[in-house]
Amino acid sequence: MVAYIDIVTGRISVEDMGKTLIHEHFIFGYPGFTGDVTLGPFRKEEAVKAGMQAAIAVMKFGVKTVLDPTPNECGRNPEVLKEISKETGLQIICATGYYYEGEGATTYFKFRQSLGTAEADIFEMFMKEITDGIATTGIRPGIIKLATSKGEITSYERMFFEAAAKVHQETGIMLLTHTQEGTMGPEQARLLIELGVDPEKIVIGHMCGNTDINYQKKTLETGVKIGFDRFGIQKLVGAPMDKERITTLLQLLENGYEDQIMLSHDSINYWMGRPPVMNDNLATLVKNWHPTHVFENIIPELIRSGVSKKTLEKLFHL
Ligand SMILES: [Zn+2]
Q: Residue 10: which H helix or E strand, with range?
A: strand 10-13
Q: Would you give per-residue pLDDT tens digits along the chain (318 residues)?
A: 458 999 999 999 999 999 999 999 999 999 999 999 999 999 999 999 999 999 999 999 999 999 999 999 999 999 999 999 999 999 999 999 999 999 999 999 999 999 999 999 999 999 999 999 999 999 999 999 999 999 999 999 999 999 999 999 999 999 999 999 999 999 999 999 999 999 999 999 999 999 999 999 999 999 999 999 999 999 888 899 999 999 999 999 999 999 999 999 999 999 999 999 999 999 999 999 999 999 999 999 999 999 999 999 999 999
- Rounded to the nearest angstrom, the distance between the alpha carbon of 115 and the centre of ligand 1 is 30
- Rounded to the nearest angstrom, the distance between the alpha carbon of 24 and the centre of ligand 1 is 6
- Residue 99 CA to residue 80 CA, distance in Å, equals 20
- Rounded to the nearest angstrom, the distance between the alpha carbon of 147 and the centre of ligand 1 is 10
The pLDDT value given to residue 8 = 98
- Rounded to the nearest angstrom, the distance between the alpha carbon of 229 and the centre of ligand 1 is 9
| Whole-structure pTM value | 0.97
Q: Nearest 5°: phi and psi at 139? A: -90, 125
**What ranges make up the beta strands (E) of 47-153?**
65-67, 91-93, 95-97, 143-147
- CA angle centred on 47, ends 10 and 50, rounded to 5°: 95
- Residue 56 CA to residue 113 CA, distance in Å, equals 43
- Rounded to the nearest angstrom, the distance between the alpha carbon of 70 and the centre of ligand 1 is 6
Work out whether strand 143-147 and strand 174-178 pair parallel, antiparallel, or are unpaired. Answer: parallel
- Rounded to the nearest angstrom, the distance between the alpha carbon of 255 and the centre of ligand 1 is 27
CB 255 within 8 A of CB 13: no
- Rounded to the nearest angstrom, the distance between the alpha carbon of 265 and the centre of ligand 1 is 8
The pLDDT value given to residue 238 = 84
CA-nearest of 203, 101, 215 to 158 is: 101
- Rounded to the nearest angstrom, the distance between the alpha carbon of 218 and the centre of ligand 1 is 23
- Rounded to the nearest angstrom, the distance between the alpha carbon of 262 and the centre of ligand 1 is 14
The pLDDT value given to residue 19 = 98
Angle between helices 118-132 and 107-115 in degrees, nearest 10: 120
- Rounded to the nearest angstrom, the distance between the alpha carbon of 261 and the centre of ligand 1 is 16
* 157 CB neighbour count, 10 Å cutoff: 24
DSSP state of 40: S
CB contact set of 296 (below 8 Å; sequence gap of 6+): none
In the beta sheet, which residues pair with residue 12?
Answer: 5
CA distances from 204 to 9, 114, 125, 126, 301 (A): 25, 29, 22, 19, 24
- Rounded to the nearest angstrom, the distance between the alpha carbon of 276 and the centre of ligand 1 is 16
- Rounded to the nearest angstrom, the distance between the alpha carbon of 26 and the centre of ligand 1 is 10
Q: Residue 53: which H helix or E strand, with range?
A: helix 44-59
DSSP state of 34: G
- Rounded to the nearest angstrom, the distance between the alpha carbon of 125 and the centre of ligand 1 is 21
The pLDDT value given to residue 2 = 53
The pLDDT value given to residue 91 = 98
- Rounded to the nearest angstrom, the distance between the alpha carbon of 230 and the centre of ligand 1 is 8
The pLDDT value given to residue 3 = 85
